Structure 1
């Protein structure tokens, strides 16, 4: 089977798009402004239904994020990627988890949906030009576990095993400065 230059270019484009989406999810989970910025064009727009605005407004909404949300995790599923030259339309399945401080207790909630991204390649780099969030389902799992008790009745040997939006152990793992 002969692979053409065009087929290889399409493969590389799709992989660069997937990488951008994964970096963005990590940036949002860690509330890392530099990582989020690197995934959007400066003139990008976002519409989440509960928020709509330009990139600067979006970044101010996501970073530092709500103090009531101590931990968040975005799990990306398959992406349908339609590349046409230097533009692409991408639908990505997402399940997001949020630990929300409700005042009297923390609750664990999940949202299932899809990102509809219009992406553009500029100067050889793929980034998001516009994002719309579609919501498919929402689940409130109730009161969050008390991590100070460990997991499944077994205590943690150190405090770094639980995830959180700020100061997560993964920042040290990836060598983020100050860790």
Structure 2
């Protein structure tokens, strides 16, 4: 590409697109989306989990049954390009609904940063190594009971409450809704 500024812009866009695919894949526990963001020989270290990509994928899909819903909100990404590699720091806030059993569900939230080493291979940018840094975590207490709707108003259908497995967005993206 003749203009290096344009090439850098396209590289950064491809890296951000991989980060978004990965977040959606983790939230929906979609192995294909997760695989599209990681190199098969990559490593991951979340502090509570460390391993190869195959081990990570087996850990995150289908995910802990006790975590009934997740949402990863990505913030800014600081991207430093160096040829076919990039070092990327991405701010993240992640929400998890945790079922402690016996109807005791808690909403938890944490904030931190992904430190990713990306590699471009055959024109494709993917994560070669990820480390998670945690900045804060909070248990928000008992989770809301979605069966009653929102703010005292009942939902018109059961699909309005999100979930990790069987989320309505899956039908939406298949063109069925």
Segments ≥4 residues shifted beyond 2 Å:
none
Partner residue, 1:126: 125
Relative to the length of structure 2, the TM-score reads 0.97
For structure 2, which runs of at least 5 residues remain unmatched after alignment? Answer: none
| Distance in 1 separating the partners of 2:82 and 2:6 | 14
Partner residue, 1:141: 140
Partner residue, 2:31: 33
| Distance in 1 separating the partners of 2:3 and 2:122 | 19
Residue 136 (structure 2) pairs with residue 165 (structure 1): no
Question: Aligned ranges for residues 52-131 of structure 1 at < 5 Å?
Answer: 52-104=50-102, 105-131=104-130
The CA RMSD measured in Å over matched residues stands at 1.2
Aligned residues: 175
| 1:69-124 residue CA offsets vs partner (Å, 9 max, x unmatched) | 00000000000000110000000000000000011300000010000000000000
Distance 1:176 1:59, change over 3 A: farther
For structure 1, which runs of at least 5 residues remain unmatched after alignment? Answer: none
